[in-house]
Structure 1
């Protein structure tokens, strides 16, 4: 999978240009300009036999995937579900972790709703940017460097809050090109997984 991730990162920069230099001259905004909602997850603990799958920071990989191998469960009161439920198309951002891993970002692309833990920020986007494009952007090495520089706190417990996340600058490629990138990414992973008997990590 790492080889595929590197290929996709290279194709991303090829299609859209370096994120810092923006050689293609795309419109530049902040993440806060392209979100409809930004929320933290719940701080409630996981429980044995809980009703809802519970995504924690270790379920997001450093390369922007969901890893459900160690999935816990949780019970949440009905009136709190909307605050911390994650649905297909949401972007997930790991706000607290080690300095190397803080800022891990992935798209939730599963059909089943899950609950997110408090160390994850749920981001819902406007129509200006596709979730897969923002997630890939945030997982570029240049952006990881920015995130590490922004993180506050100890080396083993670095933190980036929702306001800081929304202040990050991002370019907005034309939508047709964004759609082409998502299609290309899906085809690359599909061709790989078609040759495997199972894949525990979801792209």
Structure 2
């Protein structure tokens, strides 16, 4: 539909990421490091929470509101794009340059120094820009421009600001975004159904091993 977003064989207009954005910043490690984490509070995203087009909360940290507001410049807003800053380049699941869209409430999260926040200007299609950033072609591009050693690298802010983003007509971008939203809804529904199925299966196992499971006409009851 759009072609290679890096080589741009279809000749789309190209803009730099900084020209699409009102803010591009990486976070900070709060004074005291992990010692200031709390059991409940403001979500504090680290690189292990940001994956390709998804945010994982299994290993998420929390900070209190006082710490959060001391770092107010990187308070996350709904539909901000989060991008990981560092990682190894020779692994399939490298944390370098992974990107996801934050869909939570404004100011309910913050980021550490290994994550960038990109806040787009009004009028740009977040899902489309995110799609560009998570393509395989863009992954290779990021690995070329990042800096560091033979294995572990990082994306400098200056490089991130200069990322080229193709700009097809806005109606094409919107059609793509609508399609992505439909697919995401379907995925969420299927994931919930799988979760429910697994829960029911585990319940049946518990009954079976406790001797509580009864079978009638070949069906567990």
Correspondence for 1:43: 29
Would the alpha carbon gap of residues 106 and 155 (structure 1) be closer, same or farther in structure 2, given more than 3 Å must change?
Answer: farther
Shift, 1:116, TM fit: 0.7
Structure-2 separation of matches of 1:146 and 1:132: 19
The answer (yes or no) to whether the contact 2:14–2:166 under 8 Å persists in 1 is: yes
Structure-1 separation of matches of 2:104 and 2:69: 23
Would the alpha carbon gap of residues 145 and 77 (structure 1) be closer, same or farther in structure 2, given more than 3 Å must change?
Answer: same
Shift, 1:92, TM fit: 0.8
TM-score by length of 1: 0.82
Which of 7, 13, 17 is the aligned partner of 2:3? Answer: 17
Structure 1 residues not aligned, in runs of 5+: 1-13
Correspondence for 1:101: 95
Structure 2 residues not aligned, in runs of 5+: 196-221
- Size of the aligned set, in residue pairs, is 185
Correspondence for 2:61: 72
The answer (yes or no) to whether the contact 1:128–1:172 under 8 Å persists in 2 is: no
Larger Rg: 2
Which of 79, 103, 108 is the aligned partner of 1:89? Answer: 79
Correspondence for 2:49: 59
Would the alpha carbon gap of residues 145 and 196 (structure 1) be closer, same or farther in structure 2, given more than 3 Å must change?
Answer: closer
**Secondary structure, in 3 states, of the residue corresponding to 1:196?**
helix
Structure-2 separation of matches of 1:143 and 1:41: 23
More RCO (CA 8 Å, sep 6+): 1
Pairwise CA RMSD of aligned residues? 2.1
Would the alpha carbon gap of residues 86 and 155 (structure 1) be closer, same or farther in structure 2, given more than 3 Å must change?
Answer: farther
Structure-2 separation of matches of 1:78 and 1:103: 24
Which digits, 9 at most, give the CA deviation of each residue in 1:64-94, with x for residues without a partner?
A: 2111111111134464242121111111111
- Structure 1 runs of 4+ with >3 Å offset: 76-79
Which digits, 9 at most, give the CA deviation of each residue in 1:114-133, with x for residues without a partner?
A: 01111111111123532221
